[in-house]
Amino acid sequence: MNKFVIALSLFLVGCQLGGTTPTPGPQFYATGTQGLDVRVNTLSNNQLFMCEEGEVLLDLHNLGTSDIAQGIYTLTIEDQILKPVGKTKKQGSYSLEGRSAVNPVGGYTQLGFRFKTNNLPAQLETYQTPFIFNACYPYATSANIPVCIDPTRDPQAARSCKTTPVSGKGGQGAPVLVTLVEPLMVVQDNAVLPTFIVHIANAGKGRVVSTDSLGFACGNGGGTPSSKVRVMAQLQDEQLKCLPEMVDLRQGETKVTCMSNTYFGAAEGRANQGTFTTPLTVQLEYGYVTTLFYPFTITRLAHQEDCSSTQETYTPSTVSTSTDRGINWPPRS
Amino acid sequence: MRKSVIVLFVVLLSCTQFNTGTEQKQPTTGYRTGSQGLLITFLPNLPPPRVFDRDPFNVVLQVENLGTGRVGNGLDRLYISGFDHNLITGIGTDGIPLPLLEGRTQYINRGGLDTLSYRGTIRSLTEKRIDKYQPLILATACYHYETIANAQVCVDPDPYAPTSTARVCTPTAVGTGSQGAPVAVTNVQVDAAPGWTRFTINVQNVGGGSVFRNGNHYLAKCSPYNPGLAFDELDFVQVADVMISDTSIKSSCKPIDSSGHLRLQNGAGQIFCELNAPQGQTPYLTPLNIVLKYGYRQTIAKPVEIYPLS
């Protein structure tokens, strides 16, 4: 009896082991309207005394779905009031992975900036000076909007879907999003030529620039950065013709018309697929600028006249940005 | 004790076998009932409500003939549609021929039953950066069917004859219900006059699907991969014959077009037929036989969610 029970148990356990069912990946959905999120870490200190060293720690989090391969940042400060110390640079670069099924939270990094306050003009007891952080990065939106291709003209035929506008207002994991897609089935002969009116808007808190204007946007060289978004659309492996190809979002929501060259519902060929749902893939390419404003308040101590004679001299460093702070903390007096 | 129980069990079992006897099967009267033709159902989990890409996509449908007509003459077909053939490949657009399914008869109270399967493959969604694809899979059956309605009607050759003899019957409306088909003759009104009797035959689409003109050409247009049937092809039934006793009165029936079809409006229609110079002097009961032929389309749906497999 005992042997039978043991054999049965082994048999049941064996049945549960093995098998060829693959483990599915986590269900990841590209939603949201954020790209790079820049926040001031709570360890930062913007209330300084004259001649004191302070530090600003910024948390950079890529909350969108596009990878940031070559993002650049610039700092705008009053050089006569705040002097960078140590490895602190006013320009740098960073790279952050976007959210995906294998990385649902997105890439994260920290940037540290250390400063020393200079003398305040004699008549001032306190002074507020700006600290402006500009992050400029190329970004992309990949929207998969389910649309209905309906070449059927039979009024009584059951349909698997209806040709109605599809909203994308939940976002596609990027600050520039497709807000609405209006499908139009243009009837020609016995078939339809699908056309889509794609509505695009900037829902993020930053500014859209062209990808080739990112340098200008972060203060490199002269000129005014342009603000164009490249629009591409694909339907069933066919690249659609979109007009205009580049749109300017400075005036708000903009529409683009994307047309297919395939006659769906034709009697022969691959286009004869009846009424069906398929994803319209809209790819938007652009640059984005996220700006953080973090003013310093500098206070003169009572009877303080000027800083000590030994001042650190700012030397531009070629060390790239990393999360390693490489400084002495807390500062030695 | 155990042996006696076994013996008793065997005896009881034998008695049950002997008592079945050789009863003669009696024909079922009134088997022409019901309002369905073909019943289509998805087999459970085929396809499952949630599948992953790069998996096979299997769809199995059960088809059962619930009516009294015959289905499956080679041109009757079952299609599945509603999905992107670029994402789910391997499933053709020609459909699968419906197997021959006999209808119910007075001796066989259940129609033919069979299963049809489709096998496809889902392409990778990860490569296309698609998070989820949710098609609504439609199964559409397009087939020819036939309705045969029998009604006992009263024909009175001389309804105004001054006579005091008892009448066998009085011409009046006869309810016929449904006849085991998706298009039914719901009732027949009889209007008697000296020298002729008029029949108003009410026809209605009761099956829940779409009825269209009888003919192979229209059957092909029924496919979901076709632009579809036109407005002058939908809601038509062919009046194949109307017979009173052994006499066909189809030639007197109106309004029927040149191809013998009656148009339905809002799923219903009326045929007006006349019997001229009925025989005899006194009222009599006689069978009225109506045969309708038509094409029929039925669709069922099943939603499916397809996810990428990381």
What are phi and psi for residue A327, nearest 5 degrees? -130, 165
Closest CA to A206 of A112, A133, A129, A142: A133
With a pLDDT cut of 90, the percent of chain A lying above it is 44
- pLDDT mean across residues, chain B: 86
Taking contacts as CB-CB distances below 8 angstroms, the residues of chain A near B227 are 151-154, 190-191, 265
Least reliable range by pLDDT among A261-270, B61-70, B243-252: A261-270
The answer to whether B227 and A154 have CB atoms below 8 angstroms apart is yes
Cβ neighbours, 10 Å, residue A161: 19
Long-range CB contacts for residues A57-60, cutoff 8 Å, separation at least 24: A57/A110, A57/A111, A57/A112, A57/A113, A58/A110, A58/A111, A58/A112, A58/A113, A58/A133, A58/A292, A59/A108, A59/A110, A60/A36, A60/A94, A60/A96, A60/A108, A60/A109, A60/A110, A60/A111, A60/A135
Residues A153 and A277 in one domain: yes
Report which residue type is found at A78: E
**Positive or negative torsion for Cα A326, A288, A207, A76:** positive
Residues A192 and A282 in one domain: yes
Among the partner residues B82, B129, B301, nearest to A144 by beta-carbon distance: B129
Question: Could you report the per-residue pLDDT of B253-310, keeping only the tens digit for each?
Answer: 989 999 999 999 999 999 999 988 767 777 888 889 999 999 999 999 999 999 988 6
Taking contacts as CB-CB distances below 8 angstroms, the residues of chain B near A236 are 84, 86
In a domain, A332, yes or no: no
What are phi and psi for residue A302, nearest 5 degrees? -60, 130
Residues 208-237 of B with CB under 8 A from A: 210, 223-231, 234-235
pLDDT higher than threshold 90 for residue A196: yes
Are B228 and A153 in contact (CB < 8 Å)? Answer: yes
Task: Write the ipTM.
Answer: 0.77
Residues A102 and A161 in one domain: no
pLDDT higher than threshold 60 for residue B138: yes
Residues A187 and A265 in one domain: yes
Residue B306: alpha-carbon gap to chain centroid: 34
- Domain CATH code at residue A47: 2.60.40.10
Are A160 and B210 in contact (CB < 8 Å)? Answer: no
Question: Could you report the per-residue pLDDT of A288-303, keeping only the tens digit for each?
Answer: 999 999 998 999 887 7
A41's tokens: 């870490």
pLDDT higher than threshold 60 for residue A312: no
Residues A63 and A182 in one domain: no
Average pLDDT of the residues in A194-217: 89
With a pLDDT cut of 70, the percent of chain A lying above it is 80
Exposure string of B157-191, with b = 16+ CB inside 10 Å and e = fewer, is bbeeeeeeeeeebebeebebbbbbbbbbbbbbbbe
- DSSP 8-state secondary structure symbol assigned to residue B30: T
Average pLDDT of the residues in B75-93: 93
Closest CA to B141 of B289, B299, B303: B299
- DSSP 8-state secondary structure symbol assigned to residue B265: B
Residues A145 and A238 in one domain: yes
Secondary structure (DSSP) of A246-315: EEE-TTS-EEEEEE----BT-SSSTT---SEEEEEEEEEEEEEEEEEE--EEEEPPTT--S--S--PPP-
Domain containing A159 equals: 140-287
Q: What is the pLDDT of residue A11?
A: 56
Return the SS3 of A12. Answer: helix
Taking contacts as CB-CB distances below 8 angstroms, the residues of chain B near A28 are 131
Question: Could you report the per-residue pLDDT of B184-217, keeping only the tens digit for each?
Answer: 999 999 988 888 889 999 999 999 999 999 999 9
Are B227 and A281 in contact (CB < 8 Å)? Answer: no
Q: What is the pLDDT of residue B14?
A: 57
Residues A281 and A172 in one domain: yes
Report which residue type is found at B8: L
The answer to whether A263 and A190 have CB atoms below 8 angstroms apart is no
CA distance A203 to A32: 10
The answer to whether B281 and B195 have CB atoms below 8 angstroms apart is no
pLDDT higher than threshold 50 for residue B22: no
Average pLDDT of the residues in A92-118: 90
- Domain topology for B38-144+298-307: Immunoglobulin-like (2.60.40)
Question: Could you report the per-residue pLDDT of A217-276, keeping only the tens digit for each?
Answer: 787 666 666 788 999 999 988 899 999 999 998 888 999 999 998 877 765 555 678 899
The answer to whether B207 and B69 have CB atoms below 8 angstroms apart is no
pLDDT higher than threshold 70 for residue A22: no
Taking contacts as CB-CB distances below 8 angstroms, the residues of chain B near A25 are 308-310
Average pLDDT of the residues in A299-327: 53
Q: What is the pLDDT of residue B13?
A: 60
Total number of domains in chain A: 2
pLDDT tier, B179 (very low <50, low <70, confident <90, very high otherwise): confident
CA distance A32 to A26: 18
Q: What are the residues of chain A with a beta carbon less than 8 Å away from any beta carbon of chain B?
A: 22, 24-30, 101-102, 142, 144, 146, 151-161, 190-191, 236-237, 265, 267, 270, 272-279, 281
Q: What is the pLDDT of residue B147?
A: 94
Residues A251 and A294 in one domain: no
pLDDT higher than threshold 70 for residue B162: no
The answer to whether A202 and A249 have CB atoms below 8 angstroms apart is yes
Residues A81 and A164 in one domain: no
Architecture category of domain B147-213+233-294 in CATH: Sandwich (2.60)
Taking contacts as CB-CB distances below 8 angstroms, the residues of chain B near A151 are 227
| B161, HSE (Cβ side, Cα atoms, 13 Å) | 17
Most A CBs within 10 Å, among B51, B78, B87, B136, to test the A interface:
B136
Specify the higher pLDDT residue, B114 or A213: B114
Instruction: Report CA Rg, chain A.
Output: 28
Report which residue type is found at B219: L
Among the partner residues B86, B129, B227, nearest to A153 by beta-carbon distance: B227
CA angle, B44 then B46 then B50, to 5°: 100
Least reliable range by pLDDT among A35-49, A220-234, B67-81: A220-234
The residues near A303 (Cβ < 8 Å, ≥ 6 apart) are none
- pLDDT mean across residues, chain A: 82
What are phi and psi for residue B159, nearest 5 degrees? -70, -20
Q: Residue A282 burial by CB count (10 A; 0-12/13-18/19+): exposed, middle or buried?
A: buried
pLDDT tier, A170 (very low <50, low <70, confident <90, very high otherwise): confident
Are A154 and B134 in contact (CB < 8 Å)? Answer: no
pLDDT higher than threshold 60 for residue A315: no
Residues 145-204 of B with CB under 8 A from A: none
Are B227 and A157 in contact (CB < 8 Å)? Answer: no
The answer to whether B304 and B49 have CB atoms below 8 angstroms apart is yes
Are B83 and A265 in contact (CB < 8 Å)? Answer: no
Taking contacts as CB-CB distances below 8 angstroms, the residues of chain B near A158 are 138, 140, 224, 299, 301
Residues A72 and A131 in one domain: yes
In a domain, A200, yes or no: yes
Residues A57 and A188 in one domain: no
Cβ neighbours, 10 Å, residue B31: 17
Q: What is the pLDDT of residue A211?
A: 85
Are B93 and A272 in contact (CB < 8 Å)? Answer: yes
A293's tokens: 């404003």
Residues A148 and A276 in one domain: yes
Give the closest-approach CA distance of B142 to chain A in angstroms.
11
Residue A42: alpha-carbon gap to chain centroid: 23
What is the tally of helices (H) and strands (E) in chain A? 2, 20
In a domain, A28, yes or no: no
Average pLDDT of the residues in A100-112: 88
Q: What is the pLDDT of residue A13?
A: 53
Taking contacts as CB-CB distances below 8 angstroms, the residues of chain A near B135 are 160, 276-277
